[in-house]
C-alpha cells in the first residue's frame, strides 16, 4: 500500500494503467464476462464491483478528449426492456472527473467482444450487475 | 464465476486451497504486511478485508484438528494497550464453522514473519485493521 | 481436497472452470480424441469416464441459457447403425441440473474438431465409450 | 492412449516412471497428503484410488531388490487402534508382481514427510482411505 | 527403463505417443531430413535406424483403420531408378502388427514436407538409408 | 503516464513500491554501485539523480516509524575528509515529508553492501555524486 | 557506468542499438505515446526528455544515408496552428552529427503508429512536449 | 574446445549446423546486416570476418547438390561500379571443398532480406567488407 | 548430420562437449542409473550402448592428462564375484586414443553417485550391461 | 555495430560491462577454461584471443583504484619453468590505459577457480595460450 493510492488498485493494475498510452483501451468486465478468453493481458479484481474500481482508476487515468466517445458500454439486447441502473453509477463517477458533457458509446454484445479483444488489458471483476461492462480509452496527461 | 463459489475467491486462490494438504498453512495478510518478500507463492486480494475472505475460505477449507492451534494470530506488542476488535470478527467466522472450542495461537511480530515464510502461500489483502494477519493450518477432508 | 468439491476435479480444472465466462466452451474428450493437438489449454483427467466428470462439473458450471444448444455432441457417422448408449448417461446427468427441455446439438467428426479448436480448454479423459465427446457452453451466474 | 498401457497412467506419469533409475523413489499420496508442498515434481492423479494406480504402475516398474524394504508405508500413530484395511489391498497388488516375501517398511508421519521430500516425484491421488500413502523404490531392469 | 518398454523409446517419445489421438500423425525422419525446421515438437533419436524404432513404436501405437493409407512414405523422384530397400523393412515390421492388406501412400518430397509440418511431432533419427522417411497416423485404442 | 504520478517513476518501480510492506527496504543506488550483483530485483533508472527520485518516491512511500533509523546512508571511509553535500539534499527532501526529527543511520561500505543484498529491490540510478546510496525502510499506511 | 558512455543510456538500450542493423528503425516516444501496445521490444526511459536521449544515441548511432529521410516525425494534425518547438531541438542535435542537409519526413498520427509497430524497438520516454515522437533509421558503420 | 573443431565455431553454432537438414539455409551476415530483426534464431559471432567462418563451417557442412545454386550472395546495387573483392575469398574457400563448378546465385538487397527471413538461422559476424552476406543451403551427408 | 561427426552424437551432446573445459566431468550412465535425479543437465541417448558412444566422444574429447585417473568406473560391490566384461570394451576404446598407460579409478556405488552429482552433465544411455557407468574428465586442447 | 564501439564487443558483453559496478569482477577465460561450469552468467567470445578483447574492454571499463590489485592472473604451477609470454601482452594493454604502476595479483589454479565462481560474468574466449586467464575488477566512473 502507498499513501494516496486506493487499496482496490493492485500493483499490477497500477503498472498497466501507467504503461498505457494515448488511445489504448482497458475493459472493466463484470463477473460473467469471458475475460480470460478475450485478452493476453488479464488482470483479476475478483469480488469487487465496477463503480468502486472505476472511481479509483479515474483518479489517475485521463479519458481521451480527442474522440467523441472515450467511454463504451455494452448495450442491452434490442427489444429487452431491461434498464441497467449501474449505468447511472458509472455516469456519476465519470462526471465527477469529466463533467456532464461526456457522451458514452453503446455497442451490442458481440461487437463489444471484438472491441475488448483489441484492448490493452481486461480487468475481470466480480461485478454482479447485468450490462456492467465498460471500456475506457486513455487520453493525454499534459 | 461458478455456482456456489463466492466471487471473492479468485481462480488462483481456489487452486491453491485445493492443492494444499494436511498441515500446510496459508497466511491472510493485511494491507501493510510484507507479503511479497515473505513468500514464493503470492496471491493478491487487493481491496478486500480479511473477515469476508476468511468466511469464504472456511466454507471449503478444513482446519487441522490434529493440532492444538490450527489458527494463529499476530500478537499485540507487549505493553501496548491496543485491543484488536477484528479478532472478534475472526472468532465469530471461525466458530460458525468449528464451534467455540477452538483456541487460537498468538505469535509476536517477528516470530509470525518466520512462520509466514514457511507457509504454502500468502494472500495479500487490503485489510486496514491493525494486527489482522492470520494463519490457517489445513486439516483433513474425510 | 476441499469440503464440497468432488475429488475428481483437479485444482487446474477448477481454476479453468472459474476463469471461463459467458459463451466460453469446454470440451470433455474421450481417450482417443486428439486433445493435445487441438488446444493450447489442455487439462488431463486420465483414467476417468466422462459421465462422472460431467456430473462433478455441472454441480458448479452453469449452461448457457441464451443459446438454443448449450451442449454439443459428436454425431455418429452417417449410415453407421451404432447408437451411443453413453448419450443417455449424459442426458440423465444434464437433466438433473437443467431439466428435460434442453436440446443437444450434434456435429459430424471434423466439424466437431474445428469447434473444439476454438474452445477455452479441452479435458482429456480416459473415457472408453465411442462418440463420447461433449462440448459445454458456459452460461451466467446470477 | 496406447495399446497395453492402462488408461490411468498419464503421459507425464509414464515419462517420470521411465526417467527414474535404480534407487529413485516415487510417492503415491492420498487426497489429504501435502503433496504440492513436499516436491518440485508433482504429478496429479485426482479422483483415483491408490490400489488401482499401484497395480498399473507395478506392471512396468521394478521394485528395488537390493534393499530390504523397497516399499514404505506411513504408520498409524502410536496407540491409535486403527488398522488400515487398504494395506491389504497394497499387499495383494504387490505380491502378484513380487511374491509374498517382500517386507514393507513403516515410518511415522513426519519421518515419512521427510522421506517424501527427497523422492523423485509425488503423485497426488484422490484416495480417501487413511494411512494410504506409499513410497516405491525403483529397482533394475535386466 | 521399465519392464516391457523397449530401451529405444525415450521418456519424451513415449509421452508424445500417449498424448497423440485419433488422426494425429508422427514423422520418423531420416538423418538428413530438415526435422528441426518443420516442427515445433521435435524429438531426437540420434544414431538409430528407423526400422528398429518403428518396431518399438508399433508395439504400442495403433494405426488408423478409418483411412485408406495410415502410413505414408516419401516417394522416389520421378524417373530415378532407385528402389529403396528399406521400404521392405518397413512393410515387414508393419505387417507383423497389421497384416499384409495395409496399403501405403507415397508423396513426392515437397508434398511430404508440407504434410510433415502439420504432424504432431517429428522424430529425428540417424537413419542413413535414402527415402526412409515415414509418417504414421494414429488410430483408436478400443 | 497518469495524473498525479511523477514521470520519473516507471511502471515497474511503482509496482514494486506498492508490493513492499512494513519493514521491507529499497536501495536507491548511485551510478557506480554494484546494483545488478546485489539483488534479484533490479530496477533501472539510468541517467537520473537520486534527490529527484527520492522526492517522487516519498510522495507515496511511508517511512517506518517503528524503528529508530528508517533511512540509511553509506558512510564516508574513516579518515577521509570528504563531506558529501548530497546528504543535505536528502535531508531536505526527507524533512519535507517527515519533519526534522528523523535521524539517519550510517553504515560503512561493505556493511551497506550486505544490507543492500537483503533489500526488496535496488534502483540503479545515474547519480554521479559520491556516497549517494540510500536505503529506505517502508512503514505503515494507516 | 562506463567511460565515454552517457549515463542516460541504459544497458538494455545500448544492447538494442548494437543489435540493430542497416535499415532497422527505433522510435523515441513521448510520455503519452502508446508504446507498450505498439511493440514487442519496449525500452523504458521514464522521466527523460527526448532531445537529451537523442543526443546520446546519435553519438553512436549512424543514420541511414541510403534513404531520403532517415528521420521521421509525427506531424501536427491538419489545420491545427500548433508549431512544435521541440523540432528545432531535434534539428540542432541531428545537424551536429549529420549536417544541415538532412531532410526529415512527417507522418500523420495513425500512419506513424503503423510505422512504429514495425520498428525494432520503442523507447518510452517521459518527454512532455507535444508532437515529440521521432523515428531513427539506422545506417551503416564503415 | 574439442579436438578437430575450429575455435571459431561456438557450441551453439555447431548445434545449429547439426540440427539443420536437407534444404535448410543459414545466413552468414556482415556487421551491418539487420540480423536480429530478420530471424528468431540468431547466433552471434562478433568481431570475426566471414571467410574464416565460412571455411570452418564448410569443413563439416555439405552444400546442397540437388539445386543449381546452393550458395547465394547479395548483389551489388544496379549501376554501382563496386566490385566486392571478398567474393573471391568466398569462391576460393568454397572451391576447396566443392570444386570450381559451383555457380553462385545473386539476389538484390531486399530479395536477399526476404530469403534471409526464411532461413534456419542467421549468424551475425563483424565482417567489415561490403556485400559480404552469404546464404548456404545444406545438402545431404551420405 | 554433418561430415565427420558420428550420427550417435546429438546436437545437444556436441554442444555440451564443446562447452566443457579443463577438469569438467561427464558421466555416461547405463540404462538403470538414476540419471535424472543426479543432474540438472541431462542428455538422453536412449537405446545406445556405452562403448559406441564412448568411441564417438573420444574422437573429439581430450582426457585430462593433469590427473592420475581421468577415467572413473563404478566398482563391483565388495565380495561380489562378477567381473564386468564391458570394462575391457572401455579399455580398448580408450587405449586407441590414449595408449595403454592410462589407469582407471574405481569408486563404490554411492561414492560414484556423489561424484556424478557434481559432473557437468550426465548422458542417460540404454546400456544393458552391469557396472557400465563411466566418468570422463576433460583435458586440454593444445 | 555502432560508431566507436569495437566490433569484438558483442551487445550482450557491452550490456554486462555497463551493468557491473564498483568492485564487480569479470573473467576473461582462455579456450580450455571450465567457463560454463563456473558461472551463471556466461558470455561467449569464441575464436578470439584475450589481448584484443582486453584492449576493447579497457577502452570503456575503469579498473578499481581502491584495491591493491585490480587485475588477477592464474599463476604458473609451482616448479614449472614455463613463462607465459601473453602476460607481457596483457601488461602492455593495461599500461596504455593505467600506466606502469599497476601491480597484478597471481593466484594458483584452484584459488583462481573459486574467485571466478564469484565473478559477475565469465567471457569464454578461444585464446590458445596457456595461463592466459585474467580477472578484472571494475572501478568507479567519475
G27 — pLDDT class (breaks 50, 70, 90)? very high
Residues of chain E with pLDDT > 70, as a percent, come to: 100
pLDDT tens track of chain C, all 142 residues? 999 999 999 999 999 999 999 999 999 999 999 999 999 999 999 999 999 999 999 999 999 999 999 999 999 988 888 889 999 999 999 998 777 778 899 999 999 999 999 999 999 999 999 999 999 999 999 8
The chains found to touch B (3+ Cβ pairs under 8 angstroms) are A, C, D, F
Question: Is pLDDT of F68 > 80?
Answer: yes
Q: Encode pLDDT of I30-89 as tens digits.
A: 999 999 999 999 999 999 999 999 999 999 999 999 999 999 999 998 888 888 999 999
Within a domain: residue B6?
no
Residue B61, C-beta contacts closer than 8 angstroms, at least 6 positions apart = B17, B136, B138, C2, C3
Nearest chain B Cα distance for residue A11, angstroms = 9
Any I CB within 8 A of J34 CB: yes
Using the predicted structure, report yes or no on whether residue I99 has a pLDDT greater than 80. no
- What's the pLDDT score for residue E99? 75
Average pLDDT, chain D: 95
Helix (H, G, I), strand (E, B) or coil at D98: helix
Chain E hits for I12, CB-CB cut-off 8 Å, are: 44
Which residues of chain J lie closer than 8 angstroms to H126, CB-CB? 1, 7-8
pLDDT of residue G99: 75
Instruction: Please give, rounded to a whole number of angstroms, the shortest distance from the CA of H1 to a CA of chain E.
Output: 22
**Rg over CA atoms, chain E:** 14
Q: Which helix (H) or strand (E) holds I136?
A: strand I134-137
F2-54 pLDDT, tens digit each: 999 999 999 999 999 999 999 999 999 999 999 999 999 999 999 999 999 99
**J42 inside 8 A of chain H by CB:** no
Beta strand G25-29 with G121-125: parallel, antiparallel or unpaired?
A: parallel
Q: What pLDDT was estimated at residue J26?
A: 98
Q: How confident is the model at residue H99 (pLDDT cuts 50, 70, 90)?
A: confident
* pLDDT at residue G19 in the model: 98
CA-based nearest distance I36→chain D, Å: 6
- Return residues 91-130 of G near F (CB < 8 Å): 126, 128
Q: ∠ at Cα C60 (C55, C64), nearest 5°? A: 95
pLDDT at E96: 87
Among E78-92, F62-76, J103-117, the minimum mean pLDDT is found in E78-92
pLDDT of residue H98: 79
In a domain, residue H15? The reply is yes
- What is the mean predicted confidence (pLDDT) over J51-70? 96
Chain A to chain B Cβ contacts (< 8 Å): 51
Average pLDDT, whole number, for chain A? 95
Is I22 assigned a catalytic role? yes
Residue E88: helix, strand or coil by DSSP?
Answer: helix
Average pLDDT, rounded, for chain F: 95
Q: Which chains touch I (3 or more CB pairs under 8 A)?
A: D, E, H, J
* B-interface mutation test, from A2, A7, A125, most B Cβ less than 10 A away: A7
* Least confident stretch, A102-106, B70-74, D129-133, E36-40: A102-106
Q: A68-95: per-residue pLDDT in tens?
A: 999 999 999 888 888 899 999 999 999 9
Q: Which residue is closest to J33 within chain I, CA to CA?
A: I21
Distance from CA of B60 to the nearest CA of A (A): 17
CATH number of the domain where residue G32 is located: 3.40.1650.10
Query: Taking residues A112-134, what's their average pLDDT?
Result: 97
* Closest CA in chain J for residue G3: J60
Per-residue pLDDT reduced to its tens digit, D103-120: 899 999 999 999 999 999
CB contacts, 8 Å: G128 with chain A: 142
Q: Which of G15, G60, G141 sits opposite J15 (nearest CB)?
A: G15
> What pLDDT is recorded for position C80?
82
- Residue A12 sits at the chain G interface (C-beta within 8 Å): no
Q: CB of E142 within 8 Å of any CB in chain C?
A: yes
Q: Cβ–Cβ contacts within 10 Å for residue B43, how many?
A: 22
Q: Does B33 touch chain D (CB under 8 A)?
A: no
- The answer to whether residue F30 is catalytic is no
Residues of chain B positioned with their CB less than 8 A from the CB of D33: 21-22
C2 touches chain B (CB under 8 A): yes
- Pick G34's closest partner by Cβ from A23, A141, A142: A23
Give a yes or no: residue B142 inside a domain: no
- Chain I contact set for H61 (CB, 8 A): 2-3
**Cβ contact (<8 Å) for J60 and G3?**
yes
Query: Using CB atoms, which residue from I29, I34, I128 is nearest to D24?
Result: I34
Map residue F129 onto helix, strand or coil: coil
Q: Which of G19, G23, G141 sits opposite H36 (nearest CB)?
A: G19
State the pLDDT confidence band at G142, using cuts at 50, 70 and 90: confident
Taking an 8 Å cut-off on Cβ atoms, the answer to whether B11 and C15 are in contact is: yes
Candidates I5, I16, I19; nearest CB to H60 = I5
Q: Which chains touch H (3 or more CB pairs under 8 A)?
A: E, G, I, J
Q: Which residues of chain I make contact with E13, given a CB cutoff of 8 A?
A: 46
At G80, the pLDDT band (50, 70, 90 cuts) reads confident
**Smallest CA–CA distance from J53 into chain H, residue:** H47
Instruction: Give domain status of residue C60, yes or no.
Output: yes
What is the residue range of I117's domain? 11-137
Residues of D with a catalytic annotation lie at 22, 64, 113
Cβ neighbours for E23, distance < 8 A, ≥ 6 positions apart: C34, E64, E66, E137, E138
Q: Which range is least confidently modeled, E39-48, H6-15, H41-50, J82-91? A: J82-91
Which one of the listed residues A30, A38, A64, A131 is annotated catalytic?
A: A64
Residue E82 confidence (pLDDT) above 90: no
Q: Is D129 exposed, middle or buried (0-12, 13-18, 19+ CB in 10 A)?
A: middle
Q: Does residue E5 lie in a domain region?
A: no
Q: Is D84 a member of any domain? A: yes
Task: Give the pLDDT score at I97.
Answer: 79
- Work out the average pLDDT over F63-78: 93
Please state, for a pLDDT cut of 90, what percent of chain G lies above it. Answer: 87
- At H101, the pLDDT band (50, 70, 90 cuts) reads confident
Long-range pairs, B1-5, Cβ under 8 A, ≥24: B1/A31, B1/A32, B1/A126, B1/C18, B1/C21, B1/C141, B2/C17, B2/C18, B2/C60, B2/C61, B2/C62, B2/C141, B3/C59, B3/C60, B3/C61, B3/C62, B3/C141, B4/C4, B4/C59, B4/C60, B5/C18, B5/C60
Q: Is I28 on the interface with E (CB under 8 A)?
A: no
Chain H stretch 48-67, residues whose beta carbon is closer than 8 A to a beta carbon of chain I: 59-62
Tell me, yes or no, whether I5 lies in a domain: no
Sequential pLDDT tens for chain B (142 residues): 999 999 999 999 999 999 999 999 999 999 999 999 999 999 999 999 999 999 999 999 999 999 999 999 999 988 888 889 999 999 999 998 777 778 899 999 999 999 999 999 999 999 999 999 999 999 999 8
Model confidence at F100: pLDDT above 90: no
* Residue labelled with grid coordinates 515529440: G132
Q: Chains with ≥3 Cβ pairs under 8 A against E?
A: C, D, H, I
Are the beta carbons of B7 and A44 separated by less than 8 Å?
no
pLDDT (0 to 100) of residue A79: 81
Domain total for chain I? 1
A121 located within any domain: yes
A63/A85 Cα distance (integer angstroms): 22
Look up G22 and say whether it is catalytic.
yes
Closest CB from E3, E9, E15 relative to D62: E3
Over residues E96-128, the pLDDT tens digits come to: 877 777 889 999 999 999 999 999 999 999 999
Q: What is the ipTM of this complex?
A: 0.96
Cβ-Cβ contacts under 8 Å between D and E: the total is 59
Q: Is residue C72 helix, strand or coil?
A: strand
Give the pLDDT score at J82. Answer: 87
**CA distance to partner chain B, nearest, from residue D98 (Å):** 32
**pTM of the predicted model, to two decimals?**
0.97
User: Quick one: closest CA in B to D128, which residue?
Assistant: B142
Query: H/E/C letters for each residue in chain B?
Result: CCCCCCCCCCHHHHHHHHHCCCCCEEEEECCCCCCHHHCCCEEEECCCCHHHHHHHHHCCCCECCCCCCCEEEECCCCCCCCCCCHHHHHHHHHHHHHCCCCCCEEECHHHHHHHHHCCCEEEEECCCCCCCCEEEEECCCC
Amino acid at each position: 500500500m502507498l499513501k494516496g493510492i486506493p487499496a482496490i488498485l493492485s500493483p499490477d493494475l497500477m503498472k498497466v494503467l501507467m504503461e498505457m498510452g494515448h488511445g489504448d483501451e482497458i475493459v472493466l468486465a463484470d463477473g460473467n464476462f469471458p475475460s480470460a478468453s478475450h485478452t493476453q493481458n488479464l488482470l483479476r479484481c475478483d469480488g469487487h464491483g465496477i463503480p468502486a474500481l472505476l472511481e479509483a482508476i479515474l483518479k489517475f487515468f485521463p479519458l481521451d478528449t480527442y474522440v467523441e466517445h472515450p467511454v463504451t458500454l455494452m448495450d442491452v439486447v434490442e427489444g429487452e426492456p431491461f434498464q441497467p441502473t449501474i449505468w447511472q453509477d458509472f455516469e456519476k463517477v465519470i462526471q465527477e472527473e469529466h463533467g456532464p458533457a461526456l457522451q458514452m458509446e453503446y455497442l451490442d454484445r458481440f461487437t463489444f467482444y471484438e472491441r475488448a479483444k483489441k484492448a490493452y488489458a481486461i480487468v475481470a471483476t466480480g461485478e454482479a450487475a447485468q450490462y456492467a461492462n465498460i471500456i475506457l480509452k486513455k487520453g493525454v496527461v499534459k
